[in-house]
Structures are given as structure tokens and as C-alpha cells.
Amino acid sequence: MNTTKASAHFETASAPLVVPALWPFKRVYYGWAIVGAALIASFGSVPVFGPVLGVFILPMQEELGWSRATISLGFALGNFTGSATTFTIGSLLDRYGARIIVVATGIIITAAMLGLAAIAEPWQFWLFFGLGRGAALAGVQAGTSVAIANWFVRMRGRALAIKGIGLRVGQAVYPLIIFAIMAASSWRHAYAALAGLALILIVVPSALFLRRRPEDMGLLPDGATSETPLPGAGSRPAAHEESWTLAEARQTRSLWLVMAFTVFAHLALGSINLHMVANFQDKGIPSGLAVSILSLFATSSALTVLPWGLLLERVHVRTCSMLMCALYIVATVIILWADTYPLALAFGVVYGVAHGGWTVIQNLIFADYFGRRHTGAIRGFAAPFRLLGPLGPVATGFIRDVTGGYNLAFTVLAGIFILMLVLLALAPPPKRRPVHSAESDPGRPVGSRS
């Protein structure tokens, strides 16, 4: 059968049913083991994300005398590394699965944390943080997201949401742990402790439980017992969906607009995540309270991830993404005025709710637009275009160094969120043209629009 038709259905599950011995819930669909391992690994990868690095900025400045732009460059290099690596491993994830890749990148993150504990020069920070963040983005985050997308269709929204809770809970918990270690010792000891956590939380569960696709284990997505589709929910397809190859997706307008949306999202969100704590400290809010805003943001995000996931099972990802952009616009306006703790709290709540949506949307959007069969390849193709994203945190740090504040940078970021909303308005989901129409007009790309 032609791939443009056949990819809409599951391949038959023909492998014998083999469930890892350490999975105790033998009657529970094994896809939830994938979700559990992904949740724990996401939690373990948090130390190389912007909000947590933000806690290290002032202590590192005080000891090493580096500028905000210097520290931001390490964050940017990690994004560059992650985007480039995702391009390389995207098709490998489709072919071999996430297990080996996530385990290997977990080991890299562990080594990077140990390296960060001993840095003395900027290039060392750029090297180790760049390696760690790149490994987290390309290996842990992309790898586990592709794995979940392969194991779920009808319940993909909630599955990715549960995985995302690990990331957001980590962003709420890790800053408090790091702040306590710094108060008792130093930021270097904090990085050494994070190395041990990365090894335990990323490498071990991924090695034990991650698997490529349900068909490899004699199962079907969502726990279906035959190729008969399970009842769908709302606008989400039932237990089968139409899948586009990378070559087909490239010919649609929607892919390019969605890629632009994700590029601008990484640019803007990376900037705010990295600099939010330092921004509040600059405005006179005590360090402990500034860190508490980060925890509040992450807690709000964690609490709303699952509701976003359930909403995304009923409402198309495009509509939910536009709602998310509107919330980001409101949050950015608040942070421009937030020079008191109550206003900072309001920012943390609104930004956290929006970020709960982004936690799911960033991992769901390509699968919902183009299907599960080639998600790794399509994400890999889109990854190099995100190389512009890392410029945001660096530019934000540079603007702060030059102007003495973040307001100009945050005003620009508000404009970017508005642009993202417009891009989504112009990006309806692609639809295949009828076969007879394509044959009568062979020069027109599949999935193109009038």
C-alpha cells in the first residue's frame, strides 16, 4: 500500500510480547513504563535548563568576575549543540529508538556537571555547560518525546504532559536544593551534587525501561488489542493517524510556519528563563525571594501541565498554542512592571501557566501536525533552524550589560510572542489532496494549499 495511505494506520504488532522483568505492573500497558522513565529522566536533566542556571549567575559573577553575556554564551552554545545534534540523531531515533541515545546523553550530562564544578575560565564553562545542555535537548528531551509519541496516539497529550511534569517539578525543586547547598557550601559543590543525581535519574531508568515502539513488543499504541481503532476523544484521531514523511512535510506551508514558531519560542523563552531571577535581583528583590519566584513559576507550570495535556487531546495543538502565546504576552507585560514582590508573584503564576502549555506543545506539535511514524526525522530536520534561538539569551544579557536593565529586551520579547501568534494563525494543519487531483496536477506538491 502507498505510504501516503498506509502510514495512516498502525503496522501490525507481530513481535512476541516481552515485558522487562523489572516492570512490576504486568497487566498495565507498557507505554506507561516509557512515560515513567521519561518523567524521571526529564527531572534529572533540569540542571542544564535556563531557570536553574539563573540561580548560579550571581555567585559565579561574584567569584569569577564574568559578565551576564559571558555566562549567557554558555547557555547559547548548549542550544547550538542541542539543535545540531538533534538534526543528526532524528532519523536514528525513528530507526533504533531512544534507549541508547538517552543513556549515552545522561552519561554526558553527568560528566558535564563534574566539569562545571571545577571551572576557572570562560571557555571551560562554555564547553561543559554547552555539552550538558546539548545532551539534554537532543538526547533526553527529544529522545523521550519521540519514544512517547510512538507509544501513544489517542492519549498522547496526557502522556507527554506527565513526562513534562518531571521537567517542571525539577525546576521548582532544584533551585531550592541548589540555594541550600550554596548557603552551606558553594556553587561548585552544588554542581558536584547535580552530577550524582543526573547519573541516577537519567541513566538508570532509561537503560531499564525505554523501548522503541509498541509493535516491537507485540503491542499497539494506547494499549489497543487489535488494529481496530480505539474510540477517539474530541478532535484527536482515534488510535490511528495520518503520517507524513519528511519529504511530504517539507512541501507543506504548515511545516515552515510551525518551525518558525518553534524558533521564536526557543529564542524568547530561553531569554526569560535564564534572566528572570537576575532581573528581579536587579530590581531590588532579595535573592531568596527572587529564587522563590522561579519555584512559583515552575510549580504553576507543573500543576497545569496535565490539564494542558488533556485539553490538547480535545482541542488541536494550533488553537492551544495560540492561547499559550496570549498568556505569554500578558506575562511579559507584567514582568516589565514587576518591581515589587506581589507583581513578581503575578508574573510567576501567569508565566507558569503558559509554560505548562509549552511543556506539552513543544513535544506534541510536530506529531500532531504530521503523525508519529516520522516524528524523529521531522524534528531532526527542524532542529538546525533553531540555531537562531540561542542568540536570544545572549542578546538579552548584552542589552542588560549595556543599558543596566532588562526592560528593553523584555519589550522586544513581547513583540516576538505576538509574532508567534500570527504565525500560528497562518498555519492550519496540512491536508492531503485526493489521489486523482494529484495525478491530474503532478507538478503541485502533496499537501500544498491554494
Q: What is the CATH number of the domain that holds 73?
A: 1.20.1250.20
Q: Give the H or E element holding residue 64.
A: helix 50-64
DSSP string, 272-313: HHHHHHHHHHHTT--HHHHHHHHHHHHHHHHHHHHHHHHHHT
* Euclidean distance between CA atoms 10 and 385, whole angstroms: 30
Q: What is the pLDDT, as a whole number, of residue 449? A: 36
Q: How far is CA 146 from the centre of its chain?
A: 11
Q: Does 18 map to a domain?
A: no
Residues of the chain by 3-state class (helix, strand, coil), percent to 5: 75, 0, 25
What cell was used for 206? 532509561
Q: Strand, helix or coil at 134?
A: helix
Q: Does 6 map to a domain?
A: no
- Nearest in space to 209 (alpha carbons), one of 83, 337, 40: 40
What cell was used for 151? 507509544
Residue range of the domain that includes 347 = 28-226+241-431
* Euclidean distance between CA atoms 449 and 437, whole angstroms: 13
Q: Does 328 map to a domain?
A: yes
Q: Which residue has the cell 547559547?
A: 76
Q: What is the pLDDT, as a whole number, of residue 83? A: 66
- Nearest in space to 147 (alpha carbons), one of 96, 112, 192, 111: 96
Q: How far is CA 164 from CA 45, 92, 93, 119, 243, in A?
A: 12, 23, 19, 31, 24
Q: Does 21 map to a domain?
A: no
Is the separation of the CB atoms in 118 and 15 below 8 Å? Answer: no
Total domain count, the chain: 1
The pTM assigned to this predicted structure is 0.67
pLDDT along the chain (450 residues), means of 10: 39 58 84 95 89 84 87 78 70 81 94 95 91 87 88 88 88 86 92 95 94 85 65 44 83 93 91 88 88 86 91 92 97 93 95 93 87 78 73 86 91 96 93 54 40
Q: Does 438 map to a domain?
A: no
Is the separation of the CB atoms in 178 and 52 below 8 Å? Answer: yes
* Euclidean distance between CA atoms 234 and 236, whole angstroms: 6
* Rg from Cα positions in the chain: 22
Helices (H) and strands (E) in the chain, counts: 19, 0
Sign of CA dihedral 19, 22, 28, 34: negative
Q: Does 314 map to a domain?
A: yes
Q: Strand, helix or coil at 83?
A: helix
Q: Does 23 map to a domain?
A: no
Q: Does 138 map to a domain?
A: yes
Q: What is the pLDDT, as a whole number, of residue 307? A: 94
Q: What is the pLDDT, as a whole number, of residue 119? A: 94
